[in-house]
A and B are shown apart, each in its own frame.
Chain A
């Protein structure tokens, strides 16, 4: 016990942290593909924008569900809170600048996440699931009843948004600006989430998910960490909602509905929970399939998606990324055996 402590940079924990944050060789790939999409599919930029917003929303859910193990069916509450914040501020001429609008939307969603988290996260399991659903339903009904401000069932349309940096206008027919703007915000949020999940805080969330009682016993203030994670996730979902409202120039009750909450959950299950890139893979698979199945078979396209989900649930519990990962493991094992 008398040996001098190692220098901070040589400390095994510091080395491990540095290793965890290291960018893997394949990690720029999704971003390069997203940029290539902009040039290769100019007619699909509206779809692409929606896809990027969905990825961000799925990432926010992954933080609470995949990392902290908080089971929720009401995450659209925060998406809707962000969307309505931006929509109402712009519609009534209070605030139309898009980037600061995102900050305000994130703050509102985070405040709702913090207050609801303080109450809801005292519970677990089915009770928590139902309470998150109830919170979302309450917000949805509030938006429906507050017709004077929210537009009620019809929502708010033609929401005026200032040009980004005062230069790049949002054009509903040619959503080039929307696409690049959403891509930029997604990138920044992703960097933040990536840093968070690889930090000691992120590791403690994994510990809480795997054994909450043990995390108490190693001295972690479990409930406050869960509330903090829930609040951060709510803020990111709020940003996704705000982006959706800005990009489409409207906001309606669908932003707060169970459909949206369930869809993002399906996307995460499809891609793989707690894997960062599961949100990307799941959103691309779900939205591309929905898009093309709807073209091929407009009346029953959901049947194809349903079948895919059944297959994933039965044979690939860790989603599409899980299949890919187990394939890589087998390949490595085969190589090791042959060498």
Chain B
């Protein structure tokens, strides 16, 4: 049986905004269908890492490979066609398009259809005629995830999906993320809510000052608050 190449590889990546370098020599590998949580304090480069994978930053060195193919110099939309999906931190729903139209502009052939994402988030089906700016924060977050899913990615990048949401909505999102992790979808979850991140992903990466300082089982961090505290200084969160 031929071994599948990793879904996503960041090989010695240094990247940033213009001349400013934010990520330094980051090495990361994610197998197909696996989930990875990236945690760390504010401003350590978590969002920049996702932005680099999507091609929104300046790559100063190293390479990004998707299923064995170098995508470092591809335009963002070509990376999406190659299998990346992105749920941005600010959700960035198109405000004057309806919920359904927000999904239609991103829909690509594959198992995740609009009907399927409505099954994952039944609340969206009820509000499909509403415009993006008429949705609550939680609904916008669900729509942002649904919009990424209908593009039928093989690797989904999620940037702080729980940010600013009520606990009940976070629970609903966590249930959906667990469902996605159970499907054959490689998932990178950037999360400020450390407890949630460690619960959702069996593997965690801790970043500090643009570098990976821990890459290992989430359980290790969960069972050793002192270690977690030493790494990110927010063990009680």
Contacts and interface: CB of A to CB of B under 8 A. Distances in A.
Q: Do A and B come from one complex?
A: yes
A211 B94 contact: yes
Interface string B80-97: 110000101000101111
Interface string B117-142: 01100000000100000000000000
A216 B77 contact: yes
Contact of B104 (A16, A216, A219, A221): A16
B113 A5 contact: yes
B12 to A, nearest CB: 24
Contacts of A221: 75, 77
Interface in A186-244: 200, 203-204, 206-207, 210-211, 213-222
A273 to B, nearest CB: 12
B143 to A, nearest CB: 12
A216 B147 contact: no
B76 interface: yes
A329 to B, nearest CB: 13
Contact of A207 (B54, B75, B94): B94
B105 A211 contact: no
Interface in B140-187: 147-148, 151, 183
Contacts of B94: 206-207, 210-211, 214
B81 to A, nearest CB: 6
Interface string B173-212: 0000000000100000000000000000000000000000
Given A12-B128, A214-B88, A214-B94, A219 B113 contact: no
B147 A200 contact: no
B80 A217 contact: yes
A136 B135 CA distance: 43
B26 to A, nearest CB: 20
Contacts of A291: none
A164 interface: no
B105 A12 contact: no
A18 to B, nearest CB: 12
Given A11-B114, A219-B106, A16 B101 contact: yes
B118 to A, nearest CB: 7
A217 B115 contact: no
B111 interface: yes
B77 A1 contact: no
B187 to A, nearest CB: 16
Contacts of A218: 80, 105-106, 147-148, 151
A211 B92 contact: yes
B185 to A, nearest CB: 11
B116 interface: yes
Contact of B101 (A3, A203, A214, A216): A203
Contact of A206 (B56, B96, B106, B114): B96
A216 B76 contact: yes
A217 B54 contact: yes
Contacts of B77: 216-217, 219-222
Interface string A1-34: 1010110000111001000000000000000000
Interface residue tally of chain A, by bracket? Answer: 20 to 34
B104 A13 contact: yes
A312 to B, nearest CB: 20
A32 to B, nearest CB: 29
A200 B106 contact: no
Contacts of A219: 77, 80-81, 106, 108, 151
Given A6-B115, A210-B95, A13 B76 contact: no
B100 interface: yes
B133 to A, nearest CB: 10
B48 to A, nearest CB: 15
A22 to B, nearest CB: 14
Contacts of B88: 214, 217
Nearest to B132: A210
B11 interface: no
A12 B150 CA distance: 13
Contacts of A215: 105
Nearest to B128: A12
Nearest to B120: A1
A13 B106 CA distance: 12
Contact of A203 (B80, B86, B104, B128): B104
B107 interface: yes
Contacts of A222: 77
Contact of A210 (B96, B108, B119): B96
Contact of A217 (B76, B98, B111, B113): B76
A217 B80 CA distance: 7
Given A13-B114, A219-B80, 12 more contacts: A1-B116, A5-B113, A13-B107, A200-B104, A204-B105, A207-B105, A214-B94, A216-B76, A217-B54, A217-B76, A219-B106, A219-B108
Interface of B: 54, 56, 75-77, 80-81, 86, 88, 92, 94-98, 100-101, 103-108, 111, 113-116, 118-119, 128, 147-148, 151, 183
15 contacts: A3-B116, A6-B115, A12-B114, A12-B115, A13-B107, A16-B100, A16-B101, A203-B101, A217-B54, A218-B80, A218-B106, A218-B147, A218-B148, A219-B80, A222-B77
